[in-house]
Amino acid sequence: MASTSSARVIICGDMHLRPHDRGAFLMFLADLGQRPAAHLVILGDLFEYWLDGPVAQRAYQGLFVRLQALHQQGWHIHLVPGNRELAGGGYLRTAVPWHVHPHSCDVHCYGKRLRIVHGDRLVRDPGYRFMVAHLKGWWCMAWRRCLPLSLQVFIARSLRAFSRRKQRRVSELGAALSLLDPRRVQAAAVHCDTLIAGHIHQQLQRHIRGIEFVLCGHWEADHGSWVEVDAAGHITLCKQSWSLNAAG
Ligand SMILES: [Mn+2]
């Protein structure tokens, strides 16, 4: 679907970029540089996994340079960290001059109140919630800092592989959407009209318990989907493919 040049807010997430990735999302950022400056909200899982430190900062330099260029052109960049950025710290916060919103980012357009979240808190997944609580515990943070980086990378990759296997099983069953908990959607949308999320890797717009609910989709190497909001608060679901031969 064509994108509108009058967009005031562009929302995207679930890029799952690997170090030195130069696929569709980086080309998308280059395309944004040709458009009038607006707000870009990245709603998490920008990275396949993020281990806070100089190694990660160097590995994603190509991405950060593109985001930095947008910032210099007047774009306001926001990050709502996802579950892949659970280990994010000072290096992530300062990698780009972006606004980091720990849980959600609220946007007001012509009296319409939009809330942007990653979406991991909207699904029924007790195992995942236990893991998040565990990873965010101070003792786990301290323990992780004592491990050599190679071991941290091994653990992060193992968790990713486990999560991918689980995701594959769920999508084979066509059950990703059934994990959505309407009560959680309702609770997350208190005091807002529209809730925009990612995490489920689907793009849709529907009403759940009286709330306009939008899933913004995800990114692969050669294509991606996102959401645009214009000055009047109209929401457009967008998707596009890029030729990888054109990758710079
Ligand atoms: Mn996620």
Domains and CATH numbers, the chain: 7-242 (3.60.21.10)
> What's the gap in Å between 50 CA and the centre of ligand 1?
13
pTM across the whole model? 0.83
> What's the gap in Å between 44 CA and the centre of ligand 1?
7
pLDDT 10s digits, 150-209: 777 777 777 777 666 766 665 554 566 778 899 999 999 999 999 999 999 999 999 999
- Give the residues of the chain that fall short of pLDDT 50: 1-5, 173, 247-248
pLDDT confidence of residue 139? 64
Give the list of residues 6+ apart from residue 186 with CB closer than 8 angstroms, or none.
208, 209, 211
> What's the gap in Å between 246 CA and the centre of ligand 1?
28
